[in-house]
């Protein structure tokens, strides 16, 4: 059976009604499926109340110890478990996990070079426990991953959700055909950032390199696409990037940017 | 194989060093095992910072909506996932769950009679998914339960950890011999509350009724023991109540109060 790995970002998580209709669409996806969610503003809002001010270096959030506790609470608890409870109400037998659960996503604390990112984990790709994830899928479970990993020495680590989705998709590609869907707030990769209808329907690595050079693709879209091409390179059949409102159209190929 | 279900309370969770040595002892327990944890002061402390004041009626905390979010974050996220990461460091393949994960512990929001307890769940005992828990155990996983259940309509619910331990023990008794261990801050059920060495080694339901009538057993020990006798009545082989520092002695029968 085919597996669809879907990554959903913070902007949908921050909007209760949008999240609910997204989860209903996700529950209706056929075949094996896995959801990976990001964080959103909720963590920042709760952090502010707890006097944990976000600390960014080069656009990357630094995960100090209070921030690690904050994301453990908010990503691993509040967001993850509410998504699970809501999916259960749509008849989808979700199970909420971090990378520590079942030793699924072992990681290494990012080494300090120019910047100390704090408790940020780089996934040990060779040790992702795809066998256990396969067992869960075969038992009718739908894993829902929070963007947290662990170091094997007792520490949780903060890991980018796009990366987690890519690592899981790669590991599962050993066992079954895998499709990876990155949902965000645009209809796909745009030729003209000002025109929501300028979606690029399909893209090769050559196209990407050209568009990057011409500075048509910039900013946060670059690491997202780099993640996508790594996944393809490691056996994922296709990666689709598109709007969270259009999950079923993305999966059926009627919308979004498709990368093969 | 025999299953040991261990419940650990808030006083151990609040003390990092105590929790760590408890988890090391738990990781060393042989056979199938499951851990159920309570809350502790952490939730109250974080709640205070978030301006969520605890609200008690008859010694029971009322779970309003902000409190439900708080316990979801703290029990389901911060405490549960840190326990999982620490157990992994002791070579114990833990998986952190709430009752919503895998639809394991369906519950019903407690009906409002004299008191509205808010989002508190009474477990639907007949629908506890022991089959899935058995599958996890057979795959070498060690489930770690936060004291949260769900209503099947999208809501998480707050449920007493002693009750969750009892419900899981009862459900698993259909499949294998089960021992239930309640760890707390005393060496067992005491004949004299002022004397820590007056532990009652074993107790029947007749003993319990007599000691309750004589007001030797009072307060929070009554529901704990009632939980224990319900478990015995439903096929659990024995229930042991004792000190969290003595887990291995409790399991080997060298310490604590044993109820059969």
The two tokens of residue A19 are 């999240």
Domain range summary for chain B, segments of one domain joined by +: 3-259
Can you tell me whether residue B249 is helix, strand or coil? helix
How would CATH label the architecture of B3-259? 3-Layer(aba) Sandwich (3.40)
Can you tell me whether residue A93 is helix, strand or coil? coil
Q: How many CB atoms lie within 10 A of CB B124?
A: 16
Q: Do B46 and A50 touch (CB under 8 A)?
A: yes
List chain B residues with CB under 8 Å of A107.
none
Percent of chain A residues past pLDDT 70, beyond the cut? 99
Q: Of A159, A163, A143, which is closest to residue A151 (Cα–Cα)? A: A159
The partner residue sitting opposite B72, judged by closest CB among A78, A86, A150, is A78
User: How far is Cα A64 from Cα A46, in angstroms, rounded to an integer?
Assistant: 16
List chain A residues with CB under 8 Å of B138.
none
pLDDT at B80 over 80: yes
Q: What is the pLDDT of residues B83-127, one digit of tens each?
A: 999 999 999 999 999 999 999 999 999 999 888 999 999 999 999
Name the closest residue on chain A to residue B87, using Cα atoms: A154
User: How far is Cα A189 from Cα A258, in angstroms, rounded to an integer?
Assistant: 9
Shortest alpha-carbon distance between residue A211 and chain B (Å): 41
Question: Rounded to two decimals, what is the model's pTM?
Answer: 0.96
User: Given CB atoms, is A76 within the 8 Å cutoff of chain B?
Assistant: yes
Tell me what pLDDT residue A207 has.
Answer: 94
Q: What is the ipTM of this complex?
A: 0.96
The two tokens of residue B141 are 């996983």
The continuous run of DSSP H or E covering A17 comes out as helix A16-27
The residues near B49 (Cβ < 8 Å, ≥ 6 apart) are A49, A50, A51
Give how far Cα A251 sits from Cα of A6, A92, A196, Å. 10, 18, 19
User: Given CB atoms, is A153 within the 8 Å cutoff of chain B?
Assistant: yes
User: Given CB atoms, is B138 within the 8 Å cutoff of chain A?
Assistant: no
Tell me what pLDDT residue A40 has.
Answer: 78
| Integer Rg of chain A from CA | 17
User: How far is Cα B96 from Cα A148, in angstroms, rounded to an integer?
Assistant: 13
Q: What is the mean pLDDT of residues A205-230?
A: 92
Q: What is the pLDDT of residues B7-19, one digit of tens each?
A: 998 789 999 999 9
Best of A100, A106, A133, A137 to disrupt the B interface by mutation (most B CBs within 10 Å)? A100
pLDDT at A10 over 90: no
């Amino acid at each position: 059976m085919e597996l669809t790995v879907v990554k959903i970002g913070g902007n949908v998580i921050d909007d209760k009604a949008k999240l609910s209709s997204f989860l209903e669409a996700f529950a209706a996806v056929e075949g094996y499926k896995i959801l990976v969610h990001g964080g959103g503003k909720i963590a920042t809002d709760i952090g502010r109340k707890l006097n944990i001010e976000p600390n960014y270096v080069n656009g990357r959030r630094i995960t100090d110890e209070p921030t690690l506790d904050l994301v453990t609470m908010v990503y691993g608890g509040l967001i993850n478990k509410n998504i699970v409870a809501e999916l259960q109400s749509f008849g989808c037998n979700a199970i909420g996990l971090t990378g520590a659960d079942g030793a699924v996503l072992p990681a290494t604390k990012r080494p300090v070079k120019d910047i100390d990112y704090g408790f940020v984990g780089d996934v040990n790709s060779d040790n992702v426990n795809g066998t256990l994830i396969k067992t869960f899928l075969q038992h009718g479970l739908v894993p829902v991953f929070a963007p947290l990993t662990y170091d094997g020495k007792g520490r949780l680590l903060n890991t980018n959700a796009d990366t987690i989705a890519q690592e899981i998709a790669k590991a599962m590609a050993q066992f079954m055909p895998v499709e990876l869907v990155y949902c965000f707030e645009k209809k796909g990769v745009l030729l003209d950032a000002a025109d929501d209808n300028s979606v690029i329907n399909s893209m090769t690595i050559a196209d990407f390199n050209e568009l990057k050079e011409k500075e048509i693709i910039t900013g946060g879209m670059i690491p997202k696409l780099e993640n996508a091409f790594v996944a393809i390179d490691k056996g994922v059949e296709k990666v689709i990037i598109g709007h969270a409102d259009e999950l079923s159209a993305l999966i059926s190929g009627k919308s979004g940017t498709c990368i093969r």
